[in-house]
């Protein structure tokens, strides 16, 4: 394998690791407030236990509809 091929392969692997680290960081930052509030006994457990997950596509579509509604109203 040539030097350029090794560099391209290493660059691709490095981007993949960077993306995985970013995703891990975001997930960790979302969990910390839950852990702290549970430990401090201020977590609303009924709200936490009744939460439902949504798909990112649904969230994006809802956000797009809200932006269209605001623009039309203005």
23: left (phi over 0), alpha (psi -120 to 50) or beta: alpha
Q: How far is CA 66 from the centre of its chain?
A: 20
pTM above 0.85, yes or no: no
pLDDT 10s digits, 4-14: 665 566 566 66
The domain segmentation of the chain, as residue ranges, is 3-73
Residue 74: pLDDT above 80?
no
> Percentage of the chain surpassing pLDDT 70?
58
Q: What's the whole-number average pLDDT of the chain?
A: 75
């Amino acid at each position: 394998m040539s030097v350029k091929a090794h560099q391209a392969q290493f660059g691709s692997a490095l981007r993949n690791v960077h993306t995985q680290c970013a995703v891990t960081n975001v997930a960790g930052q979302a969990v910390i407030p839950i852990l702290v509030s549970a430990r401090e006994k201020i977590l609303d457990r009924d709200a936490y236990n009744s939460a439902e997950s949504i798909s990112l596509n649904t969230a994006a579509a809802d956000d797009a509809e809200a932006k269209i509604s605001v623009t039309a109203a203005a």
